[in-house]
Structure 1
Amino acid sequence: MATLNIEEVAQRLDKATVSMSIADAAVSDMPLVYVNPAFCAVTGYDASDMIGRNCRFLQADLDNEDPRHIVREALDKGTGAQAVFRNRRRDGSEFNNLLILEPLHDRAGALAYVVGAQFVMDRTTRPAMAAEHGLKVVHEIDKLLALNDRLRATSRQALARSMAATVRLWLDR
């Protein structure tokens, strides 16, 4: 199984302006093994509050059945996904989170990690903003892949294009 050195991950992703998290797909319930400072800023939680937990705790009591279904289906297939979740920050405030999941597979094709990138959305969000964010996510995932050549991502190139479409659909509902 391909593994990531979390200290090396932190060196590459801690300065990213994109909110990012990494979950260990080889462990039951896929606990978070890394969150960057941008993720902490969005959620209001310290990294120590989140490591070892599934990020579902951010959903609290909010209705997210449809996006959960999208994510479960993608994880079962080992593919990337995008879904808009209603999340709750540490202070109790709610926000719309466009979650972008990118699976990282080992050379044998087994799901090793799931990278999550978060994009806070509101009614002022524009598709071009999401597309720009998507390009930043692709760049950060490329930096992550450079840490371990035994890991590969399958869908990151389509990410920026599909983020803009997701925002358009969300705004039109």
Structure 2
Amino acid sequence: MRIIGLAGWSGAGKTTLVRRLIPVLRARGLSVSTVKHAHHDFDVDQPGKDSFEHRQAGAAQVLVSSAKRWALMTEHRGAPEPALAALLARLDPVDLVIVEGFKREEVPKIEIHRAANGKPFLYPEDPLIRALATDAVPPEGAPPAMPLDEVEAIADAALRHAAKF
């Protein structure tokens, strides 16, 4: 499996880019999975559902399955958040895993930068940022840059810079 990270400040367009990248990569014949870091207390389950009630009762894991998909929910119950490597190890093998968020992890990354956010570029502080997807003019000495809307070029960069996991 190969892995590429997408890093950027909140509101830069990481999720929008992931949604646009996946069909482009799949059209090239690649299998793709994603790992998304949530920065807040999120829940994929809903109150009133049996699986929610199982978790509320104290189940460490709840696996929900249907004819179309299955999902495994694991409660940390005070344990530390798993490292990215532990999460990646749970995935079935694919050609490329896109990691959204996890900007401090030791994986090659493409930085997503939107000038309107008013935030600085991340690349000067992260030597693992290999390319930029931005609507701004990057400073002298920045990694190679592509416009945010050139999804094919960003897909090329993702494949070029992805690392073996």
User: Scaled by the length of structure 1, what TM-score is found?
Assistant: 0.26
**Higher Cα Rg, which structure:** 2
Q: Point out the structure with the larger helix share.
A: 1
User: Scaled by the length of structure 2, what TM-score is found?
Assistant: 0.27
Q: Which has the higher contact order (CA 8 A, sep 6+)?
A: 2
